[in-house]
Structure 1
C-alpha cells in the first residue's frame, strides 16, 4: 500500500484582509490544480510526507504535519463590501486536521491568497495562439512582378486582430491579451527592411498601379540570379502583450509571428516594331 503525498510551490501574492497568516495552495485539497506534483511514497511518519516538523504552525499558514490550512473561496454570490471593486472575493480560513475539517468566518480579500499572479500571467501568455501573417501583394506575386513597378504590401485582416488567453487556479483567473502593432518586411534583394505601423493598406481597383504604396516596395533588379529564381519576401508581426487579473495588470514581453512567400521579379522587355 502506498501513500500519495502532494507538493506545491507556495505563492507570493499577499492576502490583504487576512490577520492570521497568509494562505497557501494546498495540493492535498486540490490535487489537480497546476503546480501540484503527486508522487507515491511508502507509509511512514506523517511529518515526513508533509514536510512538517510534527507540531506548531508553519510560516506559510499551514498547521504542520497534523493538519493543513489554506484560504478557500466561499459565498460566490455574496456582494462585495461597499467601496470594493470586482477584484478580490470572500475567503474563509479552512483547516483539515486528523480527518476533521473546519472553516473560519469569511473575510473579504482584495487579492486571492496563495497565487503568484506574475507566474499565472506568464502561463496565460504561453497559451496565446497567434496566427501567422497572411501576406498579400499587388500586383499579385504569382506568377511574377515587374522591376520598377511599385508593389503594395499588407497583411490579411483575418490574421490581424486582438487575441486573448487565460490561465486559472481556484479563485483567480489571469488573462493575457496580444495586439498586433507593426510589420517588418524583408525583401531578400539587398535592400533594407521596411517596418510599417499597422497591417498595411490593401490596394483597391481604380488606384493607379504606378502609385507608391503607404507600405510597399519597388524591386530594382530581376530575381533571375536568386535561388529558385525568386526573392524571399518575409513578414514579421510584433504583438504587444499585456495581462489583467485581480487587483491590476501589467506588460509582458512581446511576441512575434512570421510568414514567407516567394516573389519572382521579371525584367520587362520593350517590344519594338517596324511600320510597313
Structure 2
C-alpha cells in the first residue's frame, strides 16, 4: 500500500496524503456485506472513517446458489460507477491524516525532492492556504469528502479516476456539484452490479437427442424466474439508499446453427403472466408448433452437438431516497447447452 502511494505521488506529482483505497471483498448473495470502504493507505492503521464511506448491500432478496450469475448490460455505454466521492473525515481526522502523512513522506530519505515538495504544497493548501487549519473551526458543521474506489471494478485506472480530485469540504446538508458524488443514483448503479440471477438451462422435449424436422419444445418453470433486488445504503451523515430490481421479461433462443427454424421466428419467447416461459410439451402435440422452441433442419455432424444458447433479458429499475422509480439499462444472462440432433423421420412421444 505504501509503495502504491509513493508510485502515485511520482506519477501524478500532486496527490492527497491520505490515499483512499477500497479493500473490502465483493458482495455475496444471501446476506448483508459492506463494500467500497476506505482504508488509510497504510498511514494510520486504526483510523475511524465516516459511516458514509461505507456502502452496505442488502442481498436478502437477491438470487442465490451456485447457478446464479451477474447481469451483463445489454447495450449502450452505461456501467456501474468505478469510484465515487463520499464524506470521509471530520476536520480533526483530516488534520491527523495529513500531518502524519506529511511527516512520513518528508522524513523518508527514499522519497525524491519533488514528492516532498508536492506533499508540502498539499499540506499548505489545507493548513494555511485555501482552507484554514483544516476547517477545524467548522467541526461538526460539515465533512471532508474524498474518493472511494469500487472494489468490483476490474480496471485499475477507472478505479483511480476519482483520485484526480483533491479532497474537498462540504457543509452538512449540502450536495457537492461534482460527478459521482454519492447519492441514490450512484447507489442504484452499485446495487445493479451486485444483482445475481438464475441461469437459463431450459427444459426441452423430446429429452436427450432431438430429431431433424421435428419441433423441439422449450420452456422454463415459473418458480425459477422471479424478480430479484439489491438495496445499497450509506449511513450518517447522509442516510440514503437505493433499491435496484431486475425483472425477467423475455427468453431468446440461439440454436447454434443456421440450419434451424425458431418459434417464434424472432427467437424471443415472452414471459408468461405466471412467470413461466413457453409451454411444456404435452402428449399428442407433436404436430403443433410450440409457442417457444425450434426445429433443427439437419443433424449434428460427426457425433458432435449444436450449442443451444438461451439468454434471459431482465428489465432493471430502481427507487431511492427522495427519488421516484427510474430505469437502468436492461441486463442479460444466459447459458449454453449441447444439443444432439439425429436423422430420424418420425418419433413417438
Give TM-score, length-normalised by structure 2.
0.49
Matched, 1:243 2:303: no
Paired residues of 2:125 and 2:131 also in contact (CA < 8 A): no
| Aligned-residue RMSD, C-alpha | 4.1
Q: Which has the larger radius of gyration?
A: 1
Following TM superposition, by how much is the alpha carbon of 1:32 offset from its aligned partner in structure 2, in angstroms? Answer: 4.9
* Structure 1 gap segments, 5+ residues each: 9-26, 72-103, 271-276
* Structure 2 gap segments, 5+ residues each: 1-16, 22-47, 56-84, 90-96, 105-118, 144-171, 176-180
Following TM superposition, by how much is the alpha carbon of 1:209 offset from its aligned partner in structure 2, in angstroms? Answer: 2.4
Q: Larger % of helix: which? A: 2
Following TM superposition, by how much is the alpha carbon of 1:145 offset from its aligned partner in structure 2, in angstroms? Answer: 1.3
- Of the three residues 134, 138, 142, the one matched with 2:201 is 134
Tell me the equivalent position of 1:222. Answer: 299
* Residue 240 to residue 266, structure 1, CA distance change in 2 (3 Å): same
Following TM superposition, by how much is the alpha carbon of 1:139 offset from its aligned partner in structure 2, in angstroms? Answer: 0.9
Deviations for 1:47-80, whole angstroms, at most 9, x for unmatched residues? Answer: 956963658989xxxx825434239xxxxxxxxx
Tell me the equivalent position of 2:142. Answer: 70
- 1:122 aligns to what SS in structure 2? helix
Matched, 1:261 2:337: yes
Separation of aligned partners in 2, 1:165 and 1:139: 38
Paired residues of 1:138 and 1:151 also in contact (CA < 8 A): yes
Give TM-score, length-normalised by structure 1.
0.61
- Of the three residues 6, 30, 41, the one matched with 2:51 is 30
Aligned length: 208
- Of the three residues 225, 250, 253, the one matched with 1:185 is 253
Tell me the equivalent position of 2:220. Answer: 155
Matched, 1:116 2:183: yes
Following TM superposition, by how much is the alpha carbon of 1:154 offset from its aligned partner in structure 2, in angstroms? Answer: 1.5
- 1:152 aligns to what SS in structure 2? strand
Separation of aligned partners in 1, 2:124 and 2:326: 35
Separation of aligned partners in 2, 1:131 and 1:233: 17
Following TM superposition, by how much is the alpha carbon of 1:33 offset from its aligned partner in structure 2, in angstroms? Answer: 2.0
Paired residues of 2:316 and 2:327 also in contact (CA < 8 A): yes
